[in-house]
Amino acid sequence: MTDTTSFLAPTPHDVRDALTARMPEHRADLEALVRIPSVSAAGFDPAEVRGAAGAVRDLLAARGFDHTRLLDVEGSHPAVAADHLRAGRDAPTVLLYAHYDVQPPGDRAGWTSPAFSPTERDGRLYGRGAADDKAGIMVHVAAVDAWLASRGHLPVNVKVLIEGEEETGSAHLGQFLEAYAEELRADVIVVTDSTNWKVGVPTLSYLLRGLIDCVVEVRSLDHALHSGMYGGPVPDALTGLVKLLAELTDGHGAVAVPGFSDDARPPTPAERERLAALDFDEQAFRGEAGMLPGVELTGDPDAHVLERIWMRPTATIIGIDAPSVAEASNTLVPAARAKLSLRLAPGQDPQRAQQVLALWLREHAHWGLHVDVFPGASAGAFVADPQGPAFEAAERALSAAFGKPVVYQGVGGSIPFIEPFSEAFGGAPALLTGVEDPDTRAHGIDESLHLDDWYRACLAEAYLLAELAATRWEREGR
């Protein structure tokens, strides 16, 4: 970037005013999207997911996008695509990404207001998907609309992709990439599906962990047995499963599967520097996480807490199928299974991780119990070097909208889309911005959106389009 000249685009006040005037309508559109329970996980109604795709397509069309359409690959939930390619050949092309599918609501009784009835309390909008990531969709809509409403044109060429299976690990991403990478090709990708460091602090995320998951099933008997008549010499599957799962992690709670972490790369000096520059407060972190008094932090005690979240693998048991307590009887359980979710550090190969884990699970069962492993989602980590004209443009836009300097952070979560598409576009920079904050509780009970930060995120993206247009690009190889 040293030989790249960039200009500070004058902050477009008319665009800002158009955006501000339209926020009530965008808010109503966001609430309409939240009312659609577009849960992409198996076992939820796929018609709702398709309905949400149609609603997003119609919304994009109503706000002036061209070529609004659904993109399908065999067996997938549809993605929604649209574009606005009228800025001329010299202007850069920007791909705006978000997703319209959401996580299951979880325990519905735990929600303060119903998960799919958007409700405002204390400046926050509560509802599943209110932040992750339907607010992200609306950031793209609002930014483009502000330009079209005030100037009648966009300063850059824009393509938009709203995915429908991000929350289930983007299972059809490979086929999707093959079918649509060419028509989605862009010079820079803007992914609005992350979190800000704190409320009011504009943040670019440059690092995401990878992810694998699997189901492990343990069997010991071909039928249940009286636990008094047989217990002792005859093993039960549930105890066997629990013993196996207990050994996944060491006494600190760090992944203990031998060899699993061998390809994880340690932080670079620059990454350590960016991490150390953040004002991390362990007490505040514990509060945001809702940790009960006396509960200890887990993972390698020698690693910074943020390094443990962003750059170390972790293993979590996210579900167990076994008799419920209410239905338990005094029997030896013949079969039990669990779902495991593991986050991967930069450098880790997800295929290798699946293999090492499955082999270890099969070989470490106690007492000769039968073990089957069914691999699920897998995605590698994403690491950007946050330098160059696109990041500089984003810094200017975000700091102008928020009135504060930008901070750089990693994120422990995963967005499978980014790495393969960035690569398919010749290493196009990916700007990962956020509408969430540490109290958003994405994926959890009482997910919510901080409404003022959402407005600032919309404004930042409207500015970003101008900043990207005013940037002189090194476009060779793109």
Question: What's the CA gap between 276 and 112, in Å, rounded?
Answer: 37
Residue number, 193 or 467, with CB nearest to Zn ion: 193
Q: How far is the CB of 205 from Zn ion (least distance, A)?
A: 12
Residue number, 6 or 195, with CB nearest to Zn ion: 195
Question: What's the CA gap between 217 and 236, in Å, rounded?
Answer: 13
Q: How far is the CB of 443 from Zn ion (least distance, A)?
A: 8
Q: How far is the CB of 72 from Zn ion (least distance, A)?
A: 21
Question: What's the CA gap between 98 and 162, in Å, rounded?
Answer: 5
The secondary structure of 209-225 as a DSSP string is -EEEEEEEEEE--SS-E
Residue number, 418 or 469, with CB nearest to Zn ion: 418
| Beta strands per DSSP E along 100-138 | 119-121, 124-126
Q: Which string of x and - marks every residue 180-209 that binds Zn ion (by CB under 5 A)? A: -------------x----------------
Residue number, 132 or 395, with CB nearest to Zn ion: 132
Q: Which residue(s) pair with 192 in the sheet?
A: 433
Residue number, 193 or 236, with CB nearest to Zn ion: 193
By C-alpha distance, which of 103, 45, 50, 104 is closest to 76?
50
Cβ atoms 436, 197 nearer than 8 A: no
Residues annotated as catalytic are 101, 166
Residue number, 352 or 443, with CB nearest to Zn ion: 443
296 burial (CB, 10 Å; 0-12 / 13-18 / 19+) is exposed
Residue number, 187 or 436, with CB nearest to Zn ion: 436
Residue number, 260 or 382, with CB nearest to Zn ion: 382
Q: How far is the CB of 193 from Zn ion (least distance, A)?
A: 4
Q: How far is the CB of 277 from Zn ion (least distance, A)?
A: 26
The secondary structure of 247-300 as a DSSP string is TTB-TTS-B-STTTTTTPPPPPHHHHHHHHTS---HHHHHHHHTPPTTPPP-S-
Q: Which string of x and - marks every residue 117-146 that binds Zn ion (by CB under 5 A)? A: ---------------xx-------------
Q: How far is the CB of 129 from Zn ion (least distance, A)?
A: 9
Q: Which two tokens stand for residue 328?
A: 């338990």
Question: What's the CA gap between 210 and 221, in Å, rounded?
Answer: 36
**134-150 and 13-34 helices, crossing angle to 10°:** 140
Residue count at the site for Zn ion (CB under 5 A)? Answer: 3
Q: How far is CA 195 from CA 137, 285, 317, 340, in A?
A: 14, 14, 24, 25
Question: What's the CA gap between 362 and 218, in Å, rounded?
Answer: 9
Angle at CA 441, nearest 5°, toward 436 and 445?
Answer: 145
Q: Which two tokens stand for residue 462?
A: 């409207």
Q: How far is the CB of 164 from Zn ion (least distance, A)?
A: 12
Q: How far is the CB of 204 from Zn ion (least distance, A)?
A: 16
Cβ atoms 384, 415 nearer than 8 A: no
Structural Rg of the chain based on CA atoms: 24
Helix, strand, coil shares of the chain, percent, nearest 5, are 35, 25, 40
Q: How far is the CB of 194 from Zn ion (least distance, A)?
A: 8
Residue number, 132 or 271, with CB nearest to Zn ion: 132
Question: What's the CA gap between 264 and 308, in Å, rounded?
Answer: 12
Residues within the interface to Zn ion (CB under 5 A):
132-133, 193
